[in-house]
């Protein structure tokens, strides 16, 4: 099992110590979907615990892991939980980077948005 797969397994199980073992002690930079930033291993694990643990019925469903190099991968997943007794799901793409030690040192989270709005035309199309 790769480091990223262990991270995802531990996150889904709310295994915070196991998740921490996949993250670099030297540096961790996390960029969220709202341009929010978390720096450092312990602050990041605490952030995830504080955000994820209270979510009723929290589940992760990994749909694809794309390893693009020895140090970088993209993970597509669906994160779901209950709000007012209704299930909500958010498709995401997360970019992971790993350092020389193989541990995760960079995380970028992207949330996929539903369509519906007409695509704007580029200058060359107009």
Q: Are 59 and 12 in contact (CB under 8 A)?
A: yes
What are the per-10-residue average pLDDT scores of the chain (126 residues)? Answer: 96 97 95 94 96 94 96 97 93 97 97 69 54
Check residue 40 and give its pLDDT: 97
The count of C-alpha atoms lying within 13 angstroms of the C-alpha of 73, restricted to the half-sphere facing its C-beta, is: 20
Stated pTM of the model: 0.86
> What pLDDT shows up at residue 31?
97
What local confidence, expressed as pLDDT, does residue 115 receive? 72
| Structural domains present in the chain | 3-111 (3.10.450.50)
């Amino acid at each position: 099992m790769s480091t990223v797969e262990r991270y995802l397994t531990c996150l889904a199980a709310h295994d915070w110590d196991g998740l921490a073992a996949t993250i670099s002690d030297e540096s961790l930079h996390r960029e969220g979907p709202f341009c929010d930033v978390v720096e450092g291993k312990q602050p990041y694990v605490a952030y995830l615990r504080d955000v994820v643990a209270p979510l009723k019925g929290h589940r992760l469903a990994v749909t694809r892991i794309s390893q693009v190099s020895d140090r970088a991968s993209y993970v597509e997943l669906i994160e779901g939980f209950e709000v007012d007794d209704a299930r909500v799901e958010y498709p995401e793409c997360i970019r992971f980077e790993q350092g020389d030690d193989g541990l995760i040192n960079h995380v970028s989270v992207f949330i996929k948005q539903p369509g519906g709005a007409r695509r704007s035309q580029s200058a060359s199309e107009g």
